[in-house]
Structure 1
Amino acid sequence: MVNSRSFLSLVLAAGLATTLAACNGSSDKAATSPSTSTSSSTPPPSTTPAPTTPSVTQSAPVPAARTKAELTKALLELPDLPSGFSIDNSPDEADDTKLSSTDARCKDLVLLFNAKTPPGAKVVATRSFTGGQQGPFFDEELDAMGSPAAATALLNRTRAAIRSCKSAKLTVPGTGSSTVEVSEISVPKAGTGPVGGRFVADGGPLDGGEVLFGFTGIGDVVLAMSFDTPDVLDGALGDAAAKAIKVLGAPKTGA
């Protein structure tokens, strides 16, 4: 049986991170259509109408796309957390961890989990926290999706994938494979369209390991978090969403 942090980093690094968002992107347009005409009190027998100035339409400038520095600034920092936490800079050794299943209902969950970054993500920023050698541990990720619609689509896809797959096999190179039971869980109503998921290893070398996921939308950005215990989930997800909303402001678009 692996410890909680090992299991959390193994699952997290595999990439089940996704989405959401509040749609807020209409551009204001200002149009001016000055029309100038002249006439005299006794016009000549034949007159030609004065030319009309064409309408001029100006589109509001498109906001610049998100940057990694901007997303990083919106992540939680130690002053935002209770005392006892530190930033976890340990190297990630789980890039080759894979989820697999012969059940067709798990196909999309497997695809999302095994992706190195969320499908369609333009920019990604991450940070990991630890409460000590015995935890609790949690990771935070912000994914700029390019538009609120793209964020919403990814979040909806993740929700559907979690609901449709009941169990799958998690394989960790050098450790072995275990069956993980998959279930949807309730998460705080932070951000827009929150989604929650839970993986629990049943049998094998990962037996007893648990990871909980929380996803929500911050405009065009998806906030994704993972935890080794439900005790931290509610407070951390709510705090992370509040900070991201404050720092990131209105949605942005762009590649």
Structure 2
Amino acid sequence: MRTFVSAAITAGLALSLAACGGSKGDTAAAPGTTQSSTPTPTPTPVPTTSATPSVAPTTPAAPAPRTKASLTKALLALDDLQPGFAIDPDAEGDDGTKLTSTNAKCAKLVKLFNADTSPGAKVVVTRGFSGGQDGPFVQETLEAMPSAKATTAHLATIKAAVKSCTKAKLTISGAGTSTVAITEVAAPKAGAAPVAVRFAADGGPLDGLEVTFAFAGLDDVLLSMNFDFADIELPALAASKKAKTVLGSTTGGA
């Protein structure tokens, strides 16, 4: 999770520090038709064997193999956003951000957060945007998972981990460590089994930092986004719509 989390956390910190100092046809006989005067002989019924016609089962077409090029094409681009945004060249970097906790209930969330990629991910692409030095900031990640089932299972794991952990310590290299409150929030209907969570620091060197993370399944692709602002519905729906169009996803949601 860290590869798409750390940049947003750093971005959120930059923002908070700056603040301090996205028809059926008619089958009836035609009128006016006359009958023949010669009776039509009644045909002798021929015994037939009743049988239900066999129909070959259809198998849904498997999604095209995901490649780095196809996933990159499915990411949001500057043209998909409102004017004023630029691509953030530092979005894919690892700044050493870590989540820690001594609470056993937080172990799963800590492991997910600190991992470089989601378990089983085969291809990963990320793109970040900033609206200026002080934000707003938004980052999108698409990960090709082994199957749609694997994507859904991972989303269930994220949801359970978020529900189990309400507080943890967040460390950003060069900035310090603060306790963050971890809260599940309403997720945009941007795909299958959507999940969203907000991290908010209260006190310490990261005081005021607030970042929201949103996740959803697009068949065998996991969509992940993070924001340093609360109104996440429109950008998440835009990202889901574009990715589904480009990748040919048939999953529910926008």
TM range, normalised to the smaller chain? Answer: 0.7 to 0.9
Match of 1:36 in 2: none
Q: Which residue of 1 aligns with 2:243?
A: 244
Gaps of 5+ in 2: 1-5, 13-58
Matched, 1:170 2:173: no
TM-score, structure 1 normalization: 0.73
Question: Could you tell me how far apart the structure 2 residues matched to 1:133 and 1:194 are?
Answer: 30
User: 1:120 Cα shift?
Assistant: 1.1
Q: Aligned equivalents of 1:245 and 1:91: distance in 2?
A: 23
> Which amino acid letter does the alignment assign opposite residue 81 of structure 1?
L
Shift of 1:60: 9.1
Who is 1:132 aligned against? 132
**Match of residue 148 from structure 2:** 148
CA drift at 1:171: 1.4
What's the counterpart of residue 8 of structure 1? 8
Q: Which has the larger radius of gyration?
A: 2
CA contact (8 A) 2:7 2:91 kept: no
Instruction: Return the alpha-carbon distance in structure 1 between the equivalents of residues 107 and 233 of structure 2.
Output: 29
Q: SS where residue 182 of structure 2 aligns?
A: strand
Seq. identity, %: 54
Q: Aligned partners of 2:189 and 2:176: how far apart in 1?
A: 36
Q: Return closer, same or farther for 1:11/1:162 CA change in 2, 3 Å cut-off.
A: farther
- TM-score normalised by length of structure 2: 0.73
Equivalent residue, structure 1, for 2:222:
222
Where does the alignment leave 5 or more consecutive residues of structure 1 unmatched?
Answer: 1-5, 13-58
Preserved CA contact (<8 Å) 1:94 1:172:
no
> Judging changes above 3 Å, is the alpha-carbon distance between structure 1 residues 62 and 134 closer, same or farther for their aligned structure 2 residues?
closer
Q: Deviations over 1:60-91 (max 9, x none)?
A: 98655210100000000111111111111136
Distance in 1 (CA, whole Å) between partners of 2:164 and 2:236 is 24
Q: How far apart are 1:163 and its partner, in Å?
A: 0.8
**CA offset at residue 10 of structure 1?**
3.6
Q: Which amino acid in structure 1 is aligned with residue 226 of structure 2? A: S
| Root-mean-square deviation over aligned CA pairs | 2.6
Change (3 A) 1:148 1:130: same
Equivalent residues of 1:10, 1:93 under 8 A apart = no
In structure 2, relative to structure 1, the CA distance for the partners of 1:188 and 1:92 (3 Å cut) is closer
Aligned length: 203
CA, structure 1 residues 126+250, in 2 after alignment: closer, same or farther (shift >3 Å)? same
Q: How big is the shift at 1:213?
A: 0.6
